[in-house]
Amino acid sequence: MTASCNINDLIKVMAALRTPNTGCPWDLEQSYKTIAPHTLEEAYEVVDAIDRENMDDLREELGDLLFQSIYHAQIASEEGHFDIHDVINDVTEKMISRHPHVFGDESASSAADVDKIWERRKAKEKKGDISALNGVTSALPALLKAQKLQKKAAKVGFEWPNLAHVLDKLEEEIAEMRAAIANNDKENQAEELGDMLFLLANYGRMLGINSEEALRQCNNKFERRFRGLETDLKKQGSSVIDASLEQMEAAWDEQKSKEKLK
Tell me the percentage of the chain whose pLDDT exceeds 70: 97
Burial of 71 (0-12, 13-18, 19+ CB in 10 A): buried
| Distance in angstroms (rounded) separating the CA atoms of residues 225 and 241 | 17
Q: pLDDT-based confidence at 130, cuts 50/70/90?
A: confident
pLDDT at position 98? 87
Provide the 10 A C-beta neighbour count for residue 133: 12
Q: Report how far residue 103's alpha carbon sits from residue 156's, in angstroms, rounded to the nearest whole number.
A: 28
Q: Please check whether residue 147 is in contact with residue 211, taking contact to mean a CB–CB distance below 8 angstroms.
A: yes
* Fold of the domain built from segment(s) 126-209: Helix Hairpins (1.10.287)
| pLDDT for the residue numbered 202 | 94
3-class SS string, 61-75: HHHHHHHHHHHHHHH
What are 239-249's pLDDT values in tens digits? 999 999 999 99
Q: Are 196 and 174 in contact, with CB atoms under 8 Å apart? A: yes
Say how far apart CA 98 and CA 249 lie, in whole Å: 52
Rg of the chain (C-alpha set): 24
Q: How confident is the model at residue 132 (pLDDT cuts 50, 70, 90)?
A: confident
pLDDT score of 1 more than 60 = no
Spatial distance between the Cα atoms of 201 and 213, rounded to a whole number of angstroms? 11
Superfamily of domain 7-82 in CATH is MazG-like (1.10.287.1080)
Q: Rounded to whole angstroms, how far apart are CA atoms 74 and 27?
A: 11
Mean pLDDT of the chain, nearest integer: 91
Q: Is 141 left (phi over 0), alpha (psi -120 to 50) or beta?
A: beta
pLDDT of 188 strictly over 70: yes
pLDDT of residue 21: 94
Q: Has residue 117 got a pLDDT over 60?
A: yes
The stretches of 18-103 forming alpha helices (DSSP H) are: 25-29, 32-51, 55-78, 84-97, 100-103
Lowest mean pLDDT among 100-104, 119-123, 253-257: 119-123
